[in-house]
Structure formats: structure tokens, C-alpha cells
Amino acid sequence: MVSLKELWNDEFACREWFLPGNSCCAGCGLEIALRWAMKALGPKTALVTPASCLNVVIGLWPKTAPDFPFTNMAFAAGAAAATGFDAAFKAKAHRFPEGPWKEMTSLVFAGDGGTTDIGLQGLSGAAERNSDIIYVCYDNEAYMNTGIQRSSSTPHGAKTTTTPFGKQRYKKDVPRIMEAHDIPYVATASISHPLDIYEKFKKAKDIKGCRYIHILAPCPPGWGFPSEDAIEIAKLAVKTGFWILYEVENGIKTLSKPSKPLIDPSKRLPIIEYVSKQKRFSGISEKTLIELQEENDRQWNRIINELKCQEMRTNSE
């Protein structure tokens, strides 16, 4: 893994591109995610932000934070807009080969509502076309900007303003849906592991085609925990196995370092350790807690089986 010393000597990583003093809440996960993504991508990045907390934060003058080009976009149109930008950059690069156009990266940073609900059709279209974009879902597991409504990414049992007794359904597994599109790169990440985020974006930058990165981005007011605990909460998500870190490169899946030991179930902390630190799960019933734990075990068993099949296939080739 890259060292902090190496980052310090890197022209892009050693400074901030999403500037401090912006209007994100203290401890906001999306801000940390974007900062680390931009350290890897650098300023020749054109960012598209569909309607979301980021969309509001990013455009508020005089606290406009990005030190790189960005466009605020309609809620459903993130992937389509970035595809258009990429086409324009490629056309410009053809006409003006000496310009900066060929180095531009088209990036979408969308919330879970903008990705797993309203933007999913456009995202699927871009993935099917293998559009040359990086699409990021920063997942704070609800529609935070409009007052904490449930999304299809809200976990089972979590209270939101539209699920006052806890959500009945389970979280939609969008990284798995993106894997099914056979795009060149799919990864999950968490703000608890910024160097892992950095490395995944560095890798994604050098891949052509549609790349999808899904980042767990805790939200202190929306989840109900003190701002200073944001990293600890994200760490617990990984340590309990609730949030599994992995990459899929050209169809080959690998668990990322922090999640690898958790193949052994005894190494996973019980899910209650994560849930009990957040007000959105307050009053969760024993039954829902067991269901949440069982769902988590199912997710792990599925991934472990996939890895075993993959290994058998590779050995037989």
C-alpha cells in the first residue's frame, strides 16, 4: 500500500483540491471521500454532481470548494452528463491534440438516492455502452439533503423520516448490479481507509471504459452519532463485515486488505457493535437485529463461494 511519505511527494496528493471552509457538516463522510478521490485524480477532472448534499455544498458561493471544473446536474442525469463531457473531451482532443483534453477524466459523484434509485437507469445505460467515465456513489444510506428519507440503499432496521419504525427491506446491492454489467472496474471503499480509496482511484484513472466505485460515507446528523466519531463508525462497518471492501478487475474479484481476514467469521465483530453506536437503529428489535446479522452472513457466504469458484476456474484453465 502507498505510504504517506509517497503521497507527500506526489504533486496532486500533497494538496487539497476540494478546499477546506466549505459548508459540509463537521465529520461529513462525503467530503472525506471526495478529498481522497481528488488526491488520486488531480485537477484535470471534470466533476458532475447530481442533486444531493454535494450538489448544494459545491455550488454555494462564496464557499464554493472545488479547485477543479464541476457541473451541477439534474438528479437522474449524472452518468449521461459525464458521458457527454467525455465525448466532448475526445472530440476536442482530436481537433487540438496539443491541448489538455486527452488527459481529462470525467467523474460523477452521486449520492445513494441519485445512484441506487433515480440515476440507476442512466448509470446502467452508461455501463452497457462502457462509457469512459468514473462513476462514484457516496453512500450515506438515505436522501440526506432533503431531510433523511429512506433510499433503496438504506439498511434493514434503520429509521429515517419515511421509515419511522425502521426500514423493512434490505439494502440494494448496487456494486453487484454493476458487476453484472461486465465493466472493467468495480470497487467498494470506505472513508475509514483513505489510502485504500486513493489506490482504487489511482487504478481506476488508468483504466479505459466504465468504472464504478461505491464508497460508504457516514453522515453524523442522518445516522445520529457525534461528528468526531465518523471514522470510528466507518471502521466498525468494515470490522463487523457489514461493509465489505473488494475490487473486481475485468471480472476477477479480490477482497481488499482490511476485509481479507474477515473471511473467517470469528474475526468479524458482531453487527450490534456497529448498530448500537447510531441513533437511526435506536430501539431495534431482537428479531431485526438477528435478520441484519443473518443478511450479513449471507453476503459473506456468497462472496466466499464466488471466490472459491473463481479459484477453481483459474486452476482448471
Interacting residue ranges for ligand TPP, rule: CB under 6 A: 51-54, 75, 111-114, 140, 143-146, 151
- Select from ligand SF4, Mg ion, ligand TPP, none the partner in contact with residue 303, using the beta carbon and a kind-dependent cut-off of 5 to 8 Å: none
Query: Any idea which residue has 441484519 for its cell?
Result: 292
Check residue 65 for interaction with ligand SF4 (CB under 6 A): no
According to CB under 6 A, which residues from 28 to 57 bind ligand SF4? Answer: 28, 30, 53
Choose the contact partner of 194 out of Mg ion, ligand SF4, ligand TPP, none; CB within 5 to 8 A by kind: none
Backbone CA torsion sign across 135, 205, 16, 140: positive
Dihedral angle of Cα 220, 225, 226, 229, to the nearest 10 degrees: -90
* Smallest distance from Mg ion to CB 92, Å: 33
Q: Which residues have C-beta within 8 Å of that of residue 231, sequence separation ≥ 6? A: 191, 192
Q: b/e string for 158-177 if b means 16 or more Cβ within 10 A?
A: bbbeebeebbeebbbebbeb
The least CB distance from residue 113 to ligand TPP, in Å, is: 3
- For the chain, report the end-to-end CA distance as a whole number of angstroms: 30
Residue 171 per-residue DSSP state: P
- # residues near Mg ion by CB under 5 A: 4
For ligand SF4, the closer CB: 13 or 28: 28
Interface residue with ligand SF4 among 84, 184, 221, 258 (CB under 6 A) is: 221
Exactly one of 25, 195, 207, 269 binds ligand SF4 (CB under 6 A); that residue is: 25
If the CB atoms of residues 78 and 241 are measured against ligand TPP, the closer one turns out to be 78
